[in-house]
Structure 1
Amino acid sequence: MDSCATCRNLEPLPGLSGGFITGGTGYDLQNSAPTCELCSILWEGLGAFCLDSPGTVQWMALLQAEDSFRLNYKYKESPVEKEWIGLHFYTKDSRDPLSNIFLPSNDLEPDTSSEKYISQMKDWVNACDNGHDTCKRNLSNNYLPTRVLDVSREPYQIFLHEPGKSDRGPYIALSHCWGGVVPIMTRTETLGKFKKGIPIESFPKTFQDAIFITRQLQCRYLWIDSLCIVQDSAEDWRDEASRMANVYGNAYITILATASLDSRGGLFHQHDPLDAKHVIKRTTEKGEAIIVEVRPALEHEPYFASSPYGLESSVQAPLLERSWCYQEYLLAPRVLSFTQWEMLWLCLTKRLCNCGEYNESTREIVASSDIKARFDEQLRGTSSPDKLYRLWQDIVEPYLQKGLTYDGDRLPALAGIAHLFSERGLGRYVNGLWEPTLVPDLFWSINSAFGDYHGIVAKRSTDQAIPSWSWAAVSGSFYYPPFTRVFKGIEVLDISYEPMISNPLAEICAKAITIRGNLVQVLAWGGEENAAHHRRRCRVPGMREAKEHYWHVDVAPEVSCSADNPMDAYIFGGRAGPALVLHRVEGTASTYRRLGTIEEWSKPDESYPQTIRLV
């Protein structure tokens, strides 16, 4: 094959190229296609899916030793300039002349409820049941939640069932987006009625599909939150919310309705067959048939990380944006995720998918790079407190990027996970922080670079009961300080714990802390020109040639003023290093609320340790 300057014969670059081969514009491929077979294949595949001026797009070819070939493209004038759209080029047979470039892979089914996909799903579960020793050791049929749905008693009636002491599992749990009001919920007045039977047609599509999957996997019981928790009983909701670690942690399988916006969306999705595959046919000089197929390139890592970032904007995955569902995903030992194009299987041993990019021969999970694998390994096995603390931080950071219908759920929606960490020795839980590491925990900071890139807007909770020093008081893109930072000169003297708290993991258990460190009054300003940005300035008043310092406000609109009309603020920290930026509560002498953080701060010689109260 002659060398082609446009596609470089799709030969990977040596060294750490990240799989990049080459790139250009669509017109480059079009012009090269008459004389280069590989360019003609790429051009035809691009034209089959990029229907709007394919010649004008930018593209790049990617190929790594263990991965499939893909062509990414984006429009030069796209309003979302950072977004690339991926196409997967593949063959169906290793005997194809181009199978060394376009590795064999599976077709996508236009209907994700196809017999092929359902059969694959059953094979995954059977293989795990019978061949994964780690998974078998962590499965238990001895637990049933307070209520479950019996889906096997009659074909067209579902029964709300309260298990007796002798009843055993297994059961399947559903994780789904409510998307507002769920059409059917258990209330005090319907509890008795639902025990006598619910017509299956009364259930919304997502619930009906979950019943179908439960039956396909030959399980008798299904757990759905809106039906297995009495929704108008605060006491029942509080009791059941405290059991989430057990409900999802003991489920035979947890079903994720990943691509459904609400309970009416269903688990399965249908597509136009032309959107699922395009077939390219060529013939070699020897007369051998070349068949290359093209389909949308599917991302998998964002699903495994339970994060919407990394998915194309056209991909529907609302479940990845919800706080409650993040906890449910991490707690579940085995997961079936129903995405827009395929099902994904995650257990303690394997990651699998219908498209075949993850299969039984795919290398084992690398726990250090996978948040769920780390969670499963460290929470179900043995781990040092330092590793657990770092894992907790890495769980909280993406958690704060996710949405809640009610701000007051910020702590309850993570309480099941907090319970497991508490049992493993992280100490007493203090509104999302931990008492033994409370000083470094106070220095969580805005991650403005990540937030700006992804359009994440930091907001203050509407729940006024949450103290400003807890990350539960905000939502957005935040991060913890590096684990190696040392905070000298700061001491927590007292934590004002609230009496009569029934569930300190899910409720505000402390309203204030008394803390001692260096406090310096400053003048702060910024945000008057662009209130969305988080960077602000400050300086110590009354000092000759006072140096200006940059700091970051937690919630941008809370500080918006000019240098000519600055606001009073206070820097609180140790002898050096990160510090908190505070605002004194009006009418008090030493009570402060948090405004933000300053990354590096050295106390002025004139400052001295003071004791303050943080609320």
Structure 2
Amino acid sequence: MDPCATCRDLEPLPGFSGGFITGGTGQDLKDSGSTCQLCSILWEGLEVFCLNSPATVQWMALRQAEDSFRLQYKRSSAERAWMGLHFYTKYSQDRFSDVFKPTNDLEPDTACIKYLSQMKGWIKTCDEKHQVCKSRQNNYLPTRVLDVSRDPDRIFLYEPAKADKGPYTALSHCWGGVVPIITTENTLDKFKAGISIEAFPKTFRDAILVTRELECRYIWIDSLCIVQDSKDDWRHEASRMADVYGNSYVTISATASENSSGGLFRRHDPLDLKHTVQRPAENGVCATVHVRPALEHAPYFASSPYGLESSTPGPLLERSWCFQEYLLAPRVLSFTEWEILWLCLSKRSCNCGEYNEDMRDIVAASDLKARFDTQLRDSSPKDLRRLWQDVVEAYLLKGLTYDTDRLPALAGIAHLFSQRSLGRYVNGLWEPTLVADLFWGLDSSFAQNYDIVAKRTLHQAMPSWSWASVSGSFRYAPSTYVFEGIKIISISWEPMISNPLAQVSTKTITIRGVLVQALAWGGADYEKNPSNHYRRVQIHNEKDHSWLVDVTSELYCDPDNPADVYIFSGTKGPGLVLRNVKGSSSTYQRIGFIEGYPPKRDERGSETIQMI
């Protein structure tokens, strides 16, 4: 019998297809459902979960041999984001189990006994079976912790003695404005005497519950374990994030909560979690298929909000400090909107069953955290440099409450890299590779796809040549680029810097290369289209050329009123678009990146300039 023309009997295509089977409109499924049982199942699931004109939606069926089946859909071709439905059976002997793989139901309460039992099982298995994870466990304790074991109703801020030993958990959370309870110089002694558990916001109380469930005595929470109105204490403790999160027994991530009141756990209407489709079988017994929202796991494992459905909150994934905490932690429990996820140095697991102890290992080639955990222990300088670049590119997509935190929020990670002989740290770059490191630029396709608007820091001390002066979708220049004819003459190091990994260590570099004056224009429609970074530039007697401005608000004009700019480059490779600092003949600020221009650079002389 020929396969159904609409669903193709949901058979995966041969060869590499990314799991794609077929696609169409909701109306196609509805019409075909009268003669095809599979189409009728897909249509019923779509009709239940897509409440707005399901017949008009576009859909595509995805299934790889070892993976679960999902139906992706969106309401119009203009929409970028797809929503997903997961079709599954419960048992391997079910009629449709070869197409709709057996998996777990979602529970309406993520604090249910089943999920908490799974959580403890993941950790027990890791403690007993994962040798690489066991090798990272130790008795370290931070400067201060919260003791959750003395009294069920009171929590004690505690400064451990040398003889005290861990383990402890660490909380990663969004502040989301004002946190209702913080340690200050005035409350420090009071909190040591005990704090009523009712005084803690919900996220903190839930984290204390999890800590007790794991039979840990201590938990570390930043707002309480750092004296918030002491600059000295804040600097000292901020510099120790690699120790705090890197030595935690488990890091508890409040992934779905936008502030300290959101809590770790979620409750859902059971009708939003599952719909059951039944179809008669030849033996008279009904065949059963279940439908639920498809859960995305890759964005959580990558600590990235990109790829999550807009209806699924993941505010923690957008924060810079939390990204560092995630990478530093050897083991993470991530509390999401629908389930709990587990990550360690050996495995990934989830309550829904798509990831579990038996079925898959870490995919190290594409998993940034897995690479971070493994390559920092043993990797070549080239691989370490690529890893650092990937970390920075992911980090620049994250938000900060204070622009001055751009370096401090990555200082714990920078500390680990600095121990691997990458050289002296230069505001997020590394001195031995400083020439190549200067040539970061906008990732325009990613920025446009997700409507990411780049911004320049308000931190006045941060020089424009460092990636730390911007936020948005940026990337390093490919390693295949050749940089000839550029030389760093000197770096003006700032005196009296106590922590060069967290502070601006230099504002000016003196550099020698080819410098060409030019006229630039473009972006005249900036106010209507602020995400368009493409501009034009032209030097005397040459054709004009395209380039990318770092921040669109920094240059927008029409061709009749162009701006004076300078292109700095070597005799080969990409260039930087600069602006002369008023009142100076040889000092410039960076405003953009250009490739393949200007021509005939090897015929031009070199100049020495200062970049700030």
Give the distance between the partners of 2:378 and 2:603, measured in 1 at CA: 48
**Aligned 8 A contact 2:173 2:322 in 1:** yes
Which residue of 173, 189, 192 corresponds with 2:189? 192
- CA displacement at 1:283 relative to structure 2: 2.2
2:547 matches 1:551: yes
Q: What is the CA deviation profile of residues 138-161 of structure 1, one whole-angstrom value per residue up to 9, with x for unaligned ones?
A: 1112x1000000000000000000
Question: Match for residue 536 of structure 1?
Answer: 535
Q: 1:486 aligns with which of 482, 486, 491?
A: 482
Whether the 8 Å CA contact 2:167–2:217 is kept in 1: the answer is yes
2:94 aligned to which of 93, 96, 104: 96
8 Å Cα contact 1:260-1:318 kept in structure 2? yes
How far apart are 1:286 and its partner, in Å? Answer: 2.0
Name the amino acid aligned to 1:181. V
Aligned to 2:294: 297
The one-letter code matched in structure 1 to 2:74 is: K
Q: Give secondary structure in 1 for the equivalent of 2:41.
A: helix
Instruction: Note the 1:481-520 alignment, pairs <5 A.
Output: 481-520=477-516
2-side partners of 1:3 and 1:523: how far apart? 62
Q: Offset of 1:23 from its aligned partner?
A: 1.1
Aligned to 2:467: 471
Question: For residues 555-607 of structure 1, what are the alpha-carbon distances to aligned partners after superposition, in whole Å with 9 as ceiling and x for unaligned?
Answer: 11110112111111101000021001101100011000001110222444663
Return the letter of the residue paired with 1:139.
Q
Shift of 1:241: 0.3
For residue 32 of structure 1, report the CA deviation from its aligned partner. 1.3
Q: Hey, what does 1:60 align to over in structure 2?
A: 60
TM-score, normalising length: structure 2: 0.98
Contact 1:57–1:76 (CA<8 Å) still a contact in 2?
yes
Q: Retained in 2: the 8 A contact 1:574–1:603?
A: no
Q: In the alignment, which residue of structure 1 is the partner of 2:49?
A: 49
Looking at structure 2, the residues matched to 311 and 218 of structure 1 have their Cα atoms a distance apart, in angstroms, of: 33
Q: Quote the residue 1:110 is aligned against.
A: 108
Aligned to 1:121: 119
Counterpart residue type for residue 416 of structure 1: G
Indicate yes or no: 2:566 matched with 1:570: yes
Superposed CA offset, 1:357-377 (max 9, x none)? 001122221212110000000
Match of 2:609 among 609, 612, 615: 612
**Distance in 2 of aligned mates of 1:205 and 1:108:** 23
How far off its partner does 1:529 sit?
2.4
- Runs of 4+ displaced beyond 4 Å: 603-606
- 1:181-227 deviations in Å (ceiling 9; x for gaps): 10100011000000000000000000000000000000000000000
Q: Deviations over 1:334-377 (max 9, x none)?
A: 00000000000000000000000001122221212110000000
What code does the residue aligned with 1:363 have?
A: R
Distance of 1:606 and 1:481 partners within structure 2: 24
Normalised TM-score (structure 1): 0.98
Does 1:405 find its partner at 2:401? yes
User: Secondary structure at 1:464's aligned position in 2?
Assistant: coil
Distance verdict in 2 for CA 1:603–1:466, change over 3 Å: farther
Q: How many pairs align?
A: 608
What CA deviation, in whole Å up to 9, does each residue of 1:252-302 have, x standing for no partner? 000000000000000000111000111111221122331110111000001
Aligned to 2:370: 373
Amino acid at match of 1:537: R
- The equivalent of 1:33 in structure 2 is 33
The CA RMSD measured in Å over matched residues stands at: 1.1
| Matching residue's letter, 1:192 | D
2:258 to 248, 256, 261: 261
Cα shift readout 1:156-184 (whole Å, capped 9, x = no counterpart): 00000000010110000000000001010
Aligned counterpart, 1:251: 248
Deviations 1:400-456 (A, max 9, x none): 011000000000000000000000111100000000000000000011211111011
Do structure 1's residue 460 and structure 2's residue 456 form an aligned pair? Answer: yes
Distance 1:520 1:140, change over 3 A: same
**Contact kept in structure 1, 2:549 and 2:592, CA below 8 Å:** yes
Residue 23 of structure 2: aligned partner: 23
Structure-1 residue corresponding to 2:442: 446
Structure 1 CA distance for aligned equivalents of residues 603 and 6 of structure 2 = 66
Map of 2:160 onto structure 1: 163
Judge conservation of contact 1:96–1:289 (CA < 8 Å) in 2. Answer: no
Where 1:307 maps in the other structure, the secondary structure is coil
Asked if structure 2 preserves the Cα contact closer than 8 Å seen for 1:334 and 1:348, the reply is yes
Taking the aligned partners of 1:34 and 1:562, their CA distance within structure 2 comes to 60
* Secondary structure in structure 2 of the residue aligned to 1:153: strand
Contact 1:113-1:268 within 8 A present in 2 as well: yes
- The alpha carbon displacement at 1:2 in A equals 6.0
Distance 2:57 2:107 in 1: 28
User: Aligned partner of 2:452: which letter?
Assistant: I
Q: Secondary structure at the match of 1:151?
A: strand
Range that drifts further, 226-235 or 523-532? 523-532
In structure 1, what is the Cα distance between the partners aligned to 2:411 and 2:258?
24
Q: Secondary structure at the match of 2:307?
A: coil
Q: Equivalent residue for 1:276?
A: 273
**What secondary structure, in the 3-state scheme, does the structure 2 residue paired with 1:397 have?**
helix
How far apart, CA to CA, are the structure 1 residues paired with 2:217 and 2:445?
48
**What is the SS of the residue equivalent to 2:365?**
helix
| From 128, 138, 141, the counterpart of 1:140 | 138
Does structure 1 residue 218 correspond to structure 2 residue 235?
no
| 3-state SS in 2 of match to 1:152 | strand
Q: Does residue 423 of structure 1 match 2:397?
A: no
1:86 aligns with 2:84: yes
Contact 1:496 1:513 (8 Å CA) reproduced = yes
Aligned-partner residue type, residue 522 of structure 2: G
User: Distance in 1 between the 2:538 and 2:164 partners?
Assistant: 67
Note if contact 2:570-2:601 (Cα within 8 Å) is conserved in structure 1. Answer: no
Moved more, 416-425 or 31-40: 31-40
Q: Distance in 2 between matches of 1:362 and 1:603?
A: 57
Alignment partner, residue 182 of structure 1: 179
Determine the C-alpha separation between the residues in 2 that align with 1:605 and 1:316: 53
Assess if the C-alpha contact under 8 Å between 1:518 and 1:603 holds in 2. no
29-38 vs 272-281, which moves further: 29-38
* Rounded Cα–Cα distance in structure 1 between residues aligned with 2:526 and 2:160: 58
Inter-partner Cα distance in structure 2 for 1:31 and 1:196: 70
After the TM superposition, which of the residue ranges 16-25 and 397-406 deviates more from structure 2?
Answer: 16-25
The 2-side partners of 1:109 and 1:190 are apart by: 40
Shift of 1:519: 0.5
What residue in structure 2 maps to residue 69 of structure 1? 69
Percent identity between the two aligned chains: 68
